[in-house]
Amino acid sequence: MVDQESKTGARSEPAPSLTRRAALLQLLGLGGAAAGATGAAIWLSHRSARPIPAAAEQSRRDHRVSEDPRFPALTVVQNGEPRALAAQALENLGGIRRFISRNDVVVLKPNIAWDRTPEQAANTNPDLVAEVVRQCWQAGARRVIVTEVPCNEPRRCFARSGIEAAARAEGAEVLLPDWDRFPEVDLGGVVLKNWPVFQPFLEADKVINLPIAKHHSLTGATLGMKNWYGILGGERNRLHQQIHQSLADLAAFMLPTLTLLDCYRVLLRNGPTGGSLDDVALKRTLVAGTDPVAIDAWAAKAYWNLDPEQLPYLHMAAARGLGTVEFDKLAVKFSHLA
């Protein structure tokens, strides 16, 4: 069952705005907070650091849909299994047909970076991916592609994560990286200028970001915007030397149709690779919406008690008009399943 608001409110009504106090009370109810570089930086600055040229805006991939005041920019769905969480989140946001049109080529970007099982919470939950695939077909998509550029060996990551089997079972095309399909693209960034990008992300009609909420040793948390590292080829480990600026550059280049942040299991410590089940907390939550900055800000506060001031990339992205760090000022819809 959905929450009382979902039972009584029509989908066409505006979602209520929450005060900062109310939003934080809701947030803390989810479980609260948990507990060579110089040479690389010089190489990176020589490669691509310079002001963003005006013409570079043409290089961005903008897959967003029009805002609709009837629906929230952010929804938090709790106490459910991954498929049910995804279905309710999409319903709260106006339904999948608001985002996916008939004959669209849709690319889903889960985190499949690591040779880990779903229980270890280093990759996106496979059932979440499967449900979004199913929903895209229902909306009339022409192709649904699931892909990622992993850190570990791709075949093992795709198989052991469970994502390959789950996505194929719903009829998706699962694409492993093909190293002949990484054209160099002008990303138009401050740090990121020319960089190889996996071609499916350049050709899609719509792109849905499906990250997982995890601890990260450099930034404190890896959430939606960090998931865009998985569209790149090349020596992307070097980007960690200027990680916040590179995250803002990527967020300005790849603007998703929708973000669904997997918080079913949250890797609270020793991320982003994880490994120990002791570091994983079962939260049974999904945070979704059209504002990627607000989604990252919300999850960082909910699970690691990190404010935007501790995550400079959030303010950099907000300064580029990509969203707001003040999630408490948005219309936020909370739903509780079961």
Which single residue is written with the structure tokens 């979704």?
A: 288
Q: How far apart are CA 297 and CA 302, in angstroms?
A: 9
- Average pLDDT along the chain: 86
pLDDT tens by residue, 197-240: 999 999 999 999 999 999 998 888 999 999 999 999 998 888 88
Residue 292 and residue 298: Cα distance in Å, rounded?
10
More confidently predicted of 25 and 96: 96
Q: How confident is the model at residue 43 (pLDDT cuts 50, 70, 90)?
A: very low
Q: Is the pLDDT of residue 48 over 90?
A: no
For the chain, how big is the Rg over CA atoms in Å? 19
Peptide linkage before 272 cis (omega within 30 of 0) = yes
* pLDDT at residue number 217: 87
pLDDT tens digits, 173-184 = 999 999 999 999
For 289, the enclosing helix (H) or strand (E) is: strand 280-289
pLDDT digits (tens, 9 = 90+) for 232-254: 999 888 888 899 999 999 999 99
Distance CA(75)–CA(90), nearest Å, equals 9
On the question of pLDDT at 12 being above 70, the answer is no
Query: What is the pLDDT at residue 26?
Result: 52
Confidence of residue 278 (pLDDT cuts 50, 70, 90): very high
d(CA 20, CA 266): 24
Smallest CA-to-CA distance from 295 within 269, 268, 332, 245 is with 332
How high is the pLDDT of residue 331?
87
Q: What is the pLDDT of residue 237?
A: 82
Residue 32, pLDDT > 90, answer no
Please tell me the pTM assigned to this model: 0.85
pLDDT number for residue 49: 34
| Nearest Cα to Cα of residue 221 among 314, 289, 330 | 314
Residue 25 neighbours by CB under 8 Å, 6+ apart: none
pLDDT tens per residue, range 282-337: 999 999 999 999 999 999 999 999 999 999 999 999 999 999 999 999 989 999 99
Confidence (pLDDT) at 223 = 97
Tokens of 86: 């995804």
Q: Which pLDDT does position 5 carry in this prediction? A: 36
120-146 pLDDT, tens digit per residue, is 999 999 999 999 999 999 999 999 999
Report d(CA 176, CA 142) in Å as an integer.
Answer: 20
More confident residue, 90 or 1: 90
Q: What is the pLDDT of residue 45?
A: 36
Identify the pLDDT of residue 338: 79
